[in-house]
Amino acid sequence: MKRAVLFDLDGVLLDSHAAQLATLAGFATSALDRRVTVADLPTGAATVPRQLVLAELGLSGAINDDGWDAATATASLGTEVFPFVGETLTALRAAGVATGIVTLRSRRRVGWLLPPDILDLIDTIVCFEDAAPKPAPDGLLLALRQLDVAPEDAVFVGDTELDVHAARAAGVRAVGAGWGFVGPDALSQAGADLVLPHAAALADVLLLLLAGAEPSHRNIKRS
């Protein structure tokens, strides 16, 4: 039986909350020709579609991709993967578990954000241009087809309500990454099967889930 763990990128594998906000502020500054700081962004800007955030700031019309790429590249210079990521992916591979990323990022931007040694540990990546965006299940189902894994033999680790809804729609167990953008309570309310407030022993927890066992951990929240 083949098994898989799928991950969202931002907030789950990549510590990018500050960079997301800086990208929005930098792009808005250039597009609106006035100073826009992170403090000027609306509440929850990192988890709201960028079109809505920019519209609230006063920008109408299509987003210039070249300008957005420039803002992203600049804001992401200091962005790094979380410390646990390499160890977790290595442990999953050693256990014969396939891994994938399902993200709203474009493919070229993923290559800017993840170092080669981490990319080498990922078996498939589904990006914005590959499938309908979350909360639609299309991206998760595409990744699982590419990995030849059935939904019931997979879990998806995400950090927003959209991730949870996409997993449930795909028939995949939803694991809430409480260290990410919205926090454990929002993920529990969204219906995650399991919420982890932090990433301690993440590989062990995921392997237990895939084996059909109940993880024993005092900090695990169940919906």
Active site residues: 8
Contact 67, 27 (CB under 8 A): yes
Both tokens of residue 11?
């907030």
User: Alpha-carbon distance 51 to 8, whole Å?
Assistant: 21
Torsion of Cα atoms, 78 then 84 then 86 then 90, to 10° = -170
| Maximal CA-CA distance, the chain | 56
User: Alpha-carbon distance 149 to 143, whole Å?
Assistant: 9
